[in-house]
Amino acid sequence: MSQNAKDIAVLIGSLRKDSINRKAALALAGLAPPSLRLDLIEIGHLPFYNQELDGEPAQTPASYSDFRRRLARADGVIFATPEYNRSYPAVLKNAIDIGTRPYGKSIWSGKPAGVVSVSLGALGAFGANQQLRQLLANVNMRVLQQPEIYLAGADKLFDADGNVTVDSTRDLLRGFVDAFAAWTQPAAIAA
Task: Single out the segment in contact with ligand FNR by CB under 6 A; choices: 83-91, 95-103, 163-171, 172-180.
Answer: 83-91
Q: Please report whether residue 105 would count as binding ligand FNR according to CB under 6 A.
A: no
The answer to whether 118 and 24 have CB atoms below 8 angstroms apart is yes
Q: Please report whether residue 179 would count as binding ligand FNR according to CB under 6 A.
A: no
Residue 190 to residue 73: CA distance in whole angstroms = 19
Task: Single out the segment in contact with ligand FNR by CB under 6 A; choices: 15-23, 97-105, 108-116, 169-177.
Answer: 15-23
R_g (Cα) of the chain, nearest Å: 16
Can you tell me which of 69, 86, 105, 156 binds ligand FNR, judged by CB under 6 A? Answer: 86
Can you tell me which of 10, 11, 19, 129 binds ligand FNR, judged by CB under 6 A? Answer: 19
Residue 81 to residue 21: CA distance in whole angstroms = 6
In angstroms, what is the minimal distance from the CB of 84 to ligand FNR?
A: 4
Residue 141 to residue 69: CA distance in whole angstroms = 17
Among 55, 117, 51, which Cα is nearest to 84's?
117
Site string for ligand FNR, 121-160 (x = CB under 6 A): x-x-x-----------------------------------
In angstroms, what is the minimal distance from the CB of 12 to ligand FNR?
A: 7
Question: What is the H or E stretch that residue 79 is in?
Answer: strand 76-81
Residue 38 to residue 29: CA distance in whole angstroms = 5
Can you tell me which of 9, 10, 20, 25 binds ligand FNR, judged by CB under 6 A? Answer: 20
Residue 116 to residue 185: CA distance in whole angstroms = 20
The answer to whether 118 and 82 have CB atoms below 8 angstroms apart is yes
Can you tell me which of 8, 9, 10, 21 binds ligand FNR, judged by CB under 6 A? Answer: 21
Give the binding site for ligand FNR (CB under 6 A).
14, 16, 19-21, 82-86, 118-121, 123, 125
